[in-house]
Chain A
């Protein structure tokens, strides 16, 4: 039987096991939306902005490991997805984004709502397609899902001209796909892995830096096994948070610009650095010439371009972190003399000393809410059993620092692109994937306003996402840089305490709560997180002077850290909240 392109689209999604897609309708995708009207297998979540749809699909993908799917119309619908796509590309998130396109005969005519989205997204997708013939549709969808979710995952875009969704053909779900130029390499070279094992045997002061690749490959168990067997401390990058339990005694927390003192010290003093699925982002390395100056560097990454891109590497292993660690652990087990504890004793006690010297800390206050205190309370009350999404800026760093993540896929944050407005829609996607989990977006008053319209999506779809707004009336991270590096010239960072987030929540038929004093934090959290079964905005009016520490100034070596040494003698003045 012949099917239309729109029917084939639905059949393909069913074959790929897609139950939810996020999207927004428009002229050229009407045929597909007509198919979705009464479809039982594939449900579309209507967001209030296409950017929200992509971030929601992204949150869905990060929370599950499965590709997130988006369907939007041509022109502005398509261009509104670009930030979300670039965000997913930087953080290796599998997405398949379908954009409508004007009919093939009109392509290139500057037709109504036409945009060359394949051209626009070429540099920010893993791959993209323009389907010109309905006969190519099924195989293209299959290839797109395969490319998005294999190797180093990433977003794939399929542009669907309107006539392709109308055209009819025999539906054939391809058994195999060609893709001669796409063969991700999962198994690491054995000889290289043996070199890595030898370096581990030789080292006294080893440190593991685990990144997002450790989570994507599902290497949590193997990572823990390696760390415990060889007694190697583990620091997890922002993208790697949750790959190794932060409550573990070998955990060093996060490295880099806002990393812990002890993670950065350990990297700088190490004689061996084992990088697992991390790409030496500048926020991790600081000044690259001065990064891990004494260390032999072993790097495991499935993406060959991540190796030796910005840091010299002594032992490169191209492969999947989980599979490489499985082989590596076996080698170490068969060769190890069980002397690890003795070999590492001095190193681990040095690390304990650093941990004692400068733990992550802030100055508690009885009058004004410290943002870090809110995050700590969230951890305490949830006992770490929640999915935490973040926006970007100070809120993101505090959420990374003051909550302890023990499981993968429980910390969802825009790492590479640093996209404000990501966290809330991402939380909606994560909540859809895990309806029984507590999903919390730790937000700032700036970021939340970048996709605040998605509150409607959360309310209407009964997705009880909890948003903790650390409201300091400022674009706090930019303000922090202006204070530290621009002579306190606060250019365009004041937001004032507008809007009233409680009223905004109420206007959307959600619930709004507010805490102005430290004593109100716990009651608000208890009510917002556990009692109310609807989406909640919890507006925490926090100390606007608070900064994220430690901080490595951009371009400095990572052991050149600034701390909050200045006692805050200035009497603060909290701005009034209406």
Chain B
């Protein structure tokens, strides 16, 4: 089963390598990973999406907790939480489908962040399913390039920490 794990970590060089090394060294899979500074620049917040049975996920969270630079690990999958990721998608529609692209972007609350004579770059934010759906709609229209951020997640207020 897929799990989204968030971590508060020291904002130091080498921390990302410790975490990614732990996953690769023990044969765990990282499906996505995102890192960013927190309000306190001494710390970063990481979100990792991984998969495995209960025993593997238990080992992953324990092993992450064991790292000296990792301060707190939360498997948010177990709790009510909000997940978001973002995609920047550059499409190259035929002239007759340009309007369709813009209208679909509107439906998905996307924004056109760049355009050229024959391309639009659209930014869409949402949970994974929403991003997938948008990518699926754009695929037959003609995707030139696509980047996804990986997931970030936060617990809903009042959930156990």
Using CB atoms and an 8 Å cutoff, list the residues of chain A in contact with chain B.
Answer: 118-119, 122-123, 126-127, 130, 147, 179-182, 303-305, 308-309
Contacts and interface: CB of A to CB of B under 8 A. Distances in A.
Interface stretch (B29-37, B56-64, B88-96, B131-139): B56-64
B62 A182 contact: no
Nearest to B65: A304
B137 to A, nearest CB: 43
B146 interface: no
Nearest to A129: B14
Interface residues of B, number: 22
Contacts of A119: 14, 17
B144 interface: no
B21 A123 contact: yes
Contacts of A126: 68
Contacts of B59: 305, 308-309
Given A122-B14, A127-B69, 17 more contacts: A118-B14, A119-B14, A119-B17, A122-B17, A122-B18, A122-B21, A123-B25, A127-B68, A180-B10, A180-B71, A181-B10, A181-B68, A181-B71, A182-B68, A304-B66, A305-B66, A309-B59
Interface in B42-84: 55, 58-59, 62-63, 65-72
B9 interface: yes
A119 B25 CA distance: 13
A181 to B, nearest CB: 4
Contacts of A303: 66
B67 A181 contact: yes
Contacts of A147: 68
Contact of A304 (B14, B62, B70, B72): B62
10 contacts: A122-B14, A122-B18, A127-B68, A127-B69, A130-B14, A181-B9, A181-B69, A182-B68, A304-B62, A305-B62
Nearest to A312: B55
Contacts of A304: 62, 65-66
B100 to A, nearest CB: 50
B70 A181 contact: yes
A179 B68 contact: yes
Contacts of B9: 181
Nearest to B58: A308
A54 B152 CA distance: 43
A489 to B, nearest CB: 32
Q: 5 smallest A-B Cβ distances: which pairs?
A: A181-B71, A127-B68, A305-B62, A182-B68, A304-B62
A181 B72 CA distance: 7
Contacts of B68: 126-127, 147, 179, 181-182
B71 to A, nearest CB: 4
A181 B64 CA distance: 10
A179 B14 CA distance: 16
Contact of B63 (A118, A127, A180, A305): A305
Contacts of B14: 118-119, 122, 130
Contacts of B17: 119, 122
A427 to B, nearest CB: 31
Nearest to B71: A181
